[in-house]
Structure 1
Amino acid sequence: MRSLFWRILASFWLAIALVAGLSILLGHMLNQDAWILSRHPGLHKLPEKWTQLYEEKGQDAAQDFLQDLKRKYHFDVQVLNDSGEAVVPGTFPMRAAAFEARQQKDDQRPLPWRRLTAEYTSEKSGETYLLIYRIPHPELDAWHRQSLMWPLSALGIALVVLTLFSLLVTFSITRPLSRLRGAVHDLGQTTYQQNSLAQLANRRDEFGVLAHDFNRMGARLQSLITSQRQLLRDVSHELRSPLARLRIALALAERAEPAEREKLWPRLTRECDRLEELISEILALARLDADMGSAAPVDLPGLLEHLKAETELSSTEQTVAVHTEPGVSLSGWPNVLERALDNLLRNALRFNPAGRPIELTASMIDDALHISVRDHGPGVSAENLAQLGEPFYRAPNQTAPGYGLGLAIAKRAAEKHGGNLVFENHPQGGFVASIVVPNETKA
């Protein structure tokens, strides 16, 4: 990050310094005459002052004024009228004028002074005067050095201020990048903490948006890593029990007589079936995290009627009442949704009393699609509702067979559709499990 810091700082600083320096130098080089006429203390507003003095106090006062300027600033002044005649004697000697005329005939020989002209029209009399200044080069060079002190000082101060500004801008870019780099490192080491980018996420610029999105990604990855570790621990625990029972049954079969061994085969078959069922549910849960292609429109009425028929076929003592609001639709993965609702229905079959139908409904509530399965059983205690849907979790009072993966599969399917799985006890009795999908994810 140090290399990037110095590159950004140098880029800002050099660009600003180059623009400022070139602006001053180009202005000075391209407009030297204008620069001298406007900046030299002896020439500044000289035409106005001389014209006012000449018209108000006469020729002598105007001539004395020019003599004082020569003594003070060491340059000569000539004043000519419209006819090219001298208005006052001025301070330029005749022999110097003759020398200048000779030098002008020979362009290869430079003059020992710089010649500048300024034209001024009097507002009072309307007369136009041409003022010719001849400044010796040593005097002009000395003034140039002095006149450039203030711009150079101002440039130096500006560069200091701009350097501080460049540092501020550079730090505002590299510090967030350094924090993001640290967060990426922590995420790779699985030690990422959400509050590590909390201050950066409060910024209202692109870095704040990036930090906010990174926090969400980090939280999701940490959740997946934690869930994966917990799932591996739970799978190990759940697989250990049927494997232990199989080992015991096999050990008994090895020492048993043929007649007793025949009695053990059904037990071994049941344990193998349970193990196969558990592995199938674990694989189904894992497949929900895989890429399953793009979403497609789901025929909700047809899907619910299909689930009703399958449920009533598998359990002749139970019935399912389906209610679908007109116009409800969903875009998603039909197979995933069918597996989730089938698990919810199977869970309801375990607790629903005979003679009362299981209610399967699809309706719009508060601008969200609710696909609900309600049974009329004893429900779930309030302290256990929050833990439902976690892999391998079973309520303490649950005696029905199962591994606690059915609700976890349904929950993961709801999240894959951009929604969530909500559990609640119905006010009139029974338990309700609802897949809630916000409106923006509907087709």
Structure 2
Amino acid sequence: MILQSKIVGLKSRLLFVKVFLWFWVTAVVLFAIFLGSRMIGTRVVPATAVSAAFAPAMANEAAQAYESGGPQAFAQFERTLKGTTRRVFYLIDGSGNDVLSRPIPTDSLPIVKSSRSDGRIVTRYGLHSQSAAYRFTSSSGHPYVVLLHQPIELLSFLQTTGSEILFVGAGLLIVTLLSLWLAHHIAGPIHGIQSAARSVAKGDLNVRAPVEISKRHDELAALALDFDSMVERIGLLVHSQKNLLNTVSHELRSPLARLNMSLALLRRESSRESEELIERMEHDVERIDGSC
């Protein structure tokens, strides 16, 4: 019995863990999808952004360097702009080719093709790189697309996304706390009803489900009310059974008493041949009287 109780208690704790994990995993997955959609993908930079203000001037300088000095002048301009970073600066002509004849990164081709003609910057954030494209027309009337491509390193990613990581940590903490609360909100009432059921199994018919469960407005509250009704009904049945037994016992005692007196009188007047029969009758009467 003790082992069975321990097994039931372990299963109830497993229910809490299962509910917690289901809520937690679901919330984390949804949170990851939301965060991924915010951090990874293609988007248009608002015109009010700082990069949108500097892009036209930088693009015109790049086009002017190329048109005035050729590929060598643009290469020098790119080295100056690049500095010690791993950024790669592309100037793509109207034919879709880099002026330095370099292959355009495959992951940046979509934003090069979808770059806007209204002067808005299109950016793309991926798992391995980030890039930005800006379409413009130089002062000489030639169309170009400026592409800035930068591979992502883990250290630089952590440095540039520190606020996002802090946001993720806070989100995970909130999700964990909410999952714990929801798991307790669901599994807690079940534990209360389970404890009451154990008391009923031990013979305590005055126990009821915890009052706070009945105040809920869900299926668990209905379960608690049904449990209380069941225990009350069992108590009434047991009480009725006891009353019936007491009534039957009381009703049988008077006839049995008269029967005992009759047997005693009969024994005085009986012969030896009927003595054994009278003893059997007295024995049966005693058994019935003892059961009452």
Q: CA deviation at 1:208?
A: 0.5
Residue 50 of structure 1: CA displacement?
Answer: 2.8
Unmatched tracts of structure 2, length 5 or more? 1-11, 66-73, 107-127, 272-292
The partner residue of 1:246 within 250, 256, 259 is: 259
Identity of aligned residues (%): 25
> Does 1:180 pair with 2:186?
no
Query: CA offset at residue 127 of structure 1?
Result: 9.1
Counterpart contact for 2:90–2:148, Cα < 8 Å = yes
Deviates more, 1:221-230 or 1:142-151: 142-151
Query: Is residue 170 of structure 1 aligned with residue 186 of structure 2?
Result: no
Q: Which residue in the other structure is 1:398 paired with?
A: none
- Asked if 1:152 is matched to 2:157, the reply is no
Label 1:255 to 1:191 Cα distance change in 2 as closer, same or farther (>3 A). Answer: same
Contact persistence 2:59–2:146 (CA under 8 A): no
Number of the residue aligned with 1:412:
none
Amino acid at match of 2:20: L
Residues 5, 174 of structure 1: 8 Å contact kept: yes
Shift in Å at residue 244 of structure 1? 0.6
TM-score (norm 1): 0.40
The letter for the 2-side match of 1:208 is A
Which residue does 1:11 correspond to in 2?
22
The structure whose residues are more often helix, as a share, is 2
Higher relative contact order (CA 8 A, sep 6+): 2
The letter for the 2-side match of 1:201 is: S
Show the counterpart of 2:87.
Answer: 75
RMSD value, Cα: 4.5
The 8 Å contact of residues 5 and 171 in structure 1, kept in 2 or not, is answered as: yes
What do residues 261-307 of structure 1 show as CA deviations (whole Å, max 9, x unaligned)?
xxxxxxxxxxxxxxxxxxxxxxxxxxxxxxxxxxxxxxxxxxxxxxx
Give the equivalent residue in structure 2 for 1:46.
51
Residues 174/192 of structure 1: CA separation in 2 closer, same or farther (3 Å cut): farther
Q: One-letter code of the match for 1:6?
A: V
Task: Give the 3-state SS of the residue equivalent to 2:203 in structure 1.
Answer: coil
**Residue 101 (structure 2) pairs with residue 118 (structure 1):** no
Distance 1:73 1:204, change over 3 A: same
**Cα–Cα, structure 1 residues 48 and 85, in superposed 2: closer, same or farther, change >3 Å?**
farther
| Equivalent position SS for 1:191 | coil
Show structure 1 runs of 5+ residues with no match: 39-43, 87-93, 105-112, 259-443
Residue 20, structure 1, aligned to residue 25, structure 2? no
Larger radius of gyration: 1
Distance 2:196 2:245 in 1: 26
Contact kept? 2:55, 2:134, Cα under 8 Å: no
SS in 2 for 1:164: helix
Q: Is the 8 A contact 2:193 2:209 kept in 1?
A: no
Q: 1:371 is matched with which residue?
A: none
Task: Rate the CA distance shift 1:172–1:141 in 2: closer, same or farther, 3 A.
Answer: closer
Asked if residue 213 in structure 1 is aligned to residue 226 in structure 2, the reply is yes
Contact 2:196–2:207 (CA<8 Å) still a contact in 1? no
Corresponding residue for residue 228 of structure 1: 241
Could you state the TM-score of these two structures normalised by the residue count of structure 2?
Answer: 0.58
Q: Is 2:142 the partner of 1:130?
A: no
- Give the count of matched residue pairs: 221
